[in-house]
Amino acid sequence: MSLIRDFMKNTGNKTKSLLSRSSKSPDSLPKTRKIGFAFSRNKRGNLRSPDFEGPPVDFFEIQKAYARDGFIRHAVDKYVELILRSGWHLSGKDEKAIEYVRTRFKLMAAMSGISTNDFILSLVDDFVKFSNSILFKARLPKGYKLPVKAIGLNNEQPIAAIFPQAITTIRAAQDIHGNIIKYKQRSPYTGDEKDFKEKDVIHITYKKERGRIWAVPWVWPVLDDIKLLRELEENTAKLSHKHLFPLIHATVGSYEEGMQASDEEIDDAIEKLSLMPEDGVFVTSERIKLEVKGMQGEALEIKPILEYFEKRIFSGIGLSELEMGRSGQANRGTADTLSESARDRVKMKQSIVADQITHKIINPFLYEGGFNPLMNPDHIVEFKFKSIDIDEQQKKDNGAVYLWEHNAITFPELRKELGRDPIDDESELHFNKITKSHPRYDNTKETDNKQQPENQYGKKANKDKPVNQ
């Protein structure tokens, strides 16, 4: 009994802290470790001094390609612009939870010196360029309190700020099962190194292979094609420069016996040709014959080859010729058709980034603030990008309104389809403010007409249909 009392005395405070944390958030739940084997260099006995692994491809080469090549820069910037074009918003049922997350983002911006939009831009830029994005968490100093409730989890201080990092300076280590042990950052100039715990690092990846630490950037397979295209363009430029000015062949004398030119005649012809002005006329005797030499149709036709490699690069990048600046004969309808593939890729990237921000940034904020998005659905706050296709979104919204007006879905389901939060006070709705008092302003017919226009065959009476059917 004395042993039990001593054990309870020594561990009582720790047990109480675990129970109190588990009542507020699931962060104290046991973390499931990965099983199976990963592509790892570390052995079981080498975890104290792990072997840090860099990316499987050269990120510096991608960085140089972005800085020097117009195609890579245009493609990366295009994807970033499309992802962020319509902006983003926070979505949830509990307005207090949403406002708390907004406040934490504002406080993070104030303490880090990086505005929220710049933070999102940096994250998305690395995510698109390298298919990896690394963020470091900075925690509040001990004894400092935020102006809002923020209680650190697992005996850690609350998160103060999150900083995007240069992906080329990071290495990571994992055990044989693929569990991340720690990260290491090395300064490229001073060589200084610092280790970071896995829980203080946010690593967002795009289509990472199972068992690997890093994702292979989507631009990597395109680099060889771009190098070959640039080499062909360089050779074409040399060819154009070589044949831009005609080669004049001067024959002095003839092959007949006794008519061969002497060295003095050849030197004299060279001197006269070199001194002749560009628009001059060279008059000679029959002893000198001038002939303009050219390619004479013997050169390789380079244009189809250049066009082939351009299209090959555009396919690898996932953007159409129109989006890469090759408009040609494309019109508005053609542009929309060609952009379908790009829109799908943008939506996929938006979905991954939004999901990672929700789970790795917003959820920890909520747990620190006393909310529990895991056990209480009303506390869920999601980061969402707005639709980049306005026409498609309007059609979807009109379809949802049509279903609600015709009793196919409920009002909460309508709000969900529209991507809007549920509301309790319906007094401000159009029906309660306008239609109830002025029935003649009922505009549901307008929605009906958008779904099935009056001037289309859908509303045309069928004169051949029997009356009794």
pLDDT the model gives residue 76: 92
21-30, 44-53, 394-403: range with lowest mean pLDDT? 21-30
Q: Residue 447 above 80 pLDDT?
A: no
pLDDT the model gives residue 420: 73
49-53, 138-142, 232-236, 388-392: range with lowest mean pLDDT? 388-392
Confidence of residue 305 (pLDDT cuts 50, 70, 90): confident
Confidence of residue 244 (pLDDT cuts 50, 70, 90): low
**Count of Cβ atoms closer than 10 Å to residue 363 Cβ:** 23
pLDDT digits (tens, 9 = 90+) for 280-298: 666 666 667 777 666 555 5
How far is the C-alpha of 22 from the C-alpha of 445, rounded, in Å? 53
Residues 384, 91 contacting (CB under 8 angstroms): yes
pLDDT the model gives residue 445: 56
**Count of Cβ atoms closer than 10 Å to residue 137 Cβ:** 20
CA angle 51, 55, 57 (to 5 degrees): 135
pLDDT digits (tens, 9 = 90+) for 151-196: 988 888 999 999 999 999 999 999 888 889 999 999 988 999 999 9
pLDDT the model gives residue 171: 94
The alpha carbon of residue 83 and the mean position of all alpha carbons in its chain are separated, in whole angstroms, by 7
pLDDT digits (tens, 9 = 90+) for 422-438: 776 666 666 665 666 65
Query: How large is the average pLDDT for residues 397-418?
Result: 78
Q: Residue 118 above 60 pLDDT?
A: yes
pLDDT digits (tens, 9 = 90+) for 215-228: 999 999 888 888 88
Identity of the amino acid at 298: E
Confidence of residue 104 (pLDDT cuts 50, 70, 90): very high
Q: What is the percent of the chain with per-residue pLDDT over 70, rounded to a whole number?
A: 70
pLDDT the model gives residue 9: 45
- What's the DSSP call for residue 197? E
Confidence of residue 11 (pLDDT cuts 50, 70, 90): very low
Tell me which of 41 and 258 has the higher pLDDT.
41
Query: How large is the average pLDDT for residues 101-119?
Result: 96
262-271, 304-313, 388-397, 452-461: range with lowest mean pLDDT? 452-461
Residue with tokens 């406040």: 103
With CA atoms as reference, report the closest residue to 389 among 82, 13, 29.
Answer: 82
Residue with tokens 């991507």: 419
- What's the DSSP call for residue 1? -
The answer for residues whose C-beta is within 8 angstroms of residue 415's C-beta and 6 or more apart is 421, 422, 423
Alpha-carbon Rg of the chain, whole angstroms? 35
How far is the C-alpha of 364 from the C-alpha of 161, rounded, in Å? 12
Tell me which of 419 and 29 has the higher pLDDT.
419
Confidence of residue 456 (pLDDT cuts 50, 70, 90): low
Confidence of residue 278 (pLDDT cuts 50, 70, 90): low
- Identify the three-state secondary structure at position 199: helix
pLDDT the model gives residue 328: 55
Confidence of residue 132 (pLDDT cuts 50, 70, 90): very high
How far is the C-alpha of 368 from the C-alpha of 364, rounded, in Å? 6
How far is the C-alpha of 360 from the C-alpha of 337, rounded, in Å? 36
Query: How large is the average pLDDT for residues 344-369?
Result: 94
> What is the residue-averaged pLDDT of the chain?
78
With CA atoms as reference, report the closest residue to 150 among 107, 91, 95, 196.
Answer: 107
- Identify the three-state secondary structure at position 442: coil
